[in-house]
Amino acid sequence: MITIDRIIAMKNKEKIACLTAYDYPMAKILDRTGIDIILVGDSAANVFAGEKTTLPIGMEEMLYHTRIVSRCVSRSLVVADMPFLSYQVKVEDAVYNAGRFLKAGAAAVKLEGGETVIDAIRRMIAVGIPVMGHVGLTPQSVHKLGGYKTQGRSDAEAEQISHDAELLERSGCFALVLEKIPAALAGKITRTLKIPTIGIGAGAECDGQVLVLHDILGLFPDFTPKFAKQYARIGDDVEKAVEKYRDEVKNNIYPGKEYTLE
């Protein structure tokens, strides 16, 4: 079983592999392959529910996905994304909501932001809830950022991201996601921090990488990020299989004798 301590110890020794999962069959496969971290991402709003942003998904939906994934995982570390407005309003609510994810089976939670959410993070960690930070492009702030644009290109942005990263480490986060920032900036932050960085569109110098499972499998045709390598096109295979089934039903080929009960 991968633990928080194990993830921290992997820095500078072994790259950390992380993928998202939202359901039992996929989480079961990921766990069997030896993926280090399974992130129950709020990206479920996009690739599972068809929303344009991650903002609509709520606590009950994220808890549902977390329970399903945690139920079948025996090796990987399960980290749950805290959805929009579950941690930004009151520290007490943030801690309570984070605790609900642990009760649902997750080993840790992930939340977006730096200085603005630091009080909530400190309190979570103080009561024993492991926290993974997330800076750079923070999808829950998509409207404020003006879209899903690369962050940290200006000196001011780079300085703020670096500041937030160091603040999150000092506050006790065990790892940090760096999303869609220049590779040079991600490398600098990675070398500065003692905790592992996990990149998504942030270059190869990060201590690990995370991608959305549906992106690497070709299961979400609506949009594929430039930084997401497609390792399979399972969506095409599913479409062909369904077309074949449809044709066999229409032409009275299925069910044949071998699929008929006596």
Catalytic residues: 179
DSSP letter for 193, please. Answer: -
The CA-atom distances, in angstroms, between 194 and each of 83, 173, 221 are 27, 11, 38
How many CB atoms sit inside 10 A of residue 187's CB?
Answer: 18
Residue 64 parent element (H or E)? helix 59-72
Q: What is the separation of C-alpha 47 from the centre of its chain, rounded to a whole number of angstroms?
A: 12
Residue 134 · residue 185 · CB < 8 Å: no
CA dihedral 246, 250, 252, 256 (to 10 degrees): 10
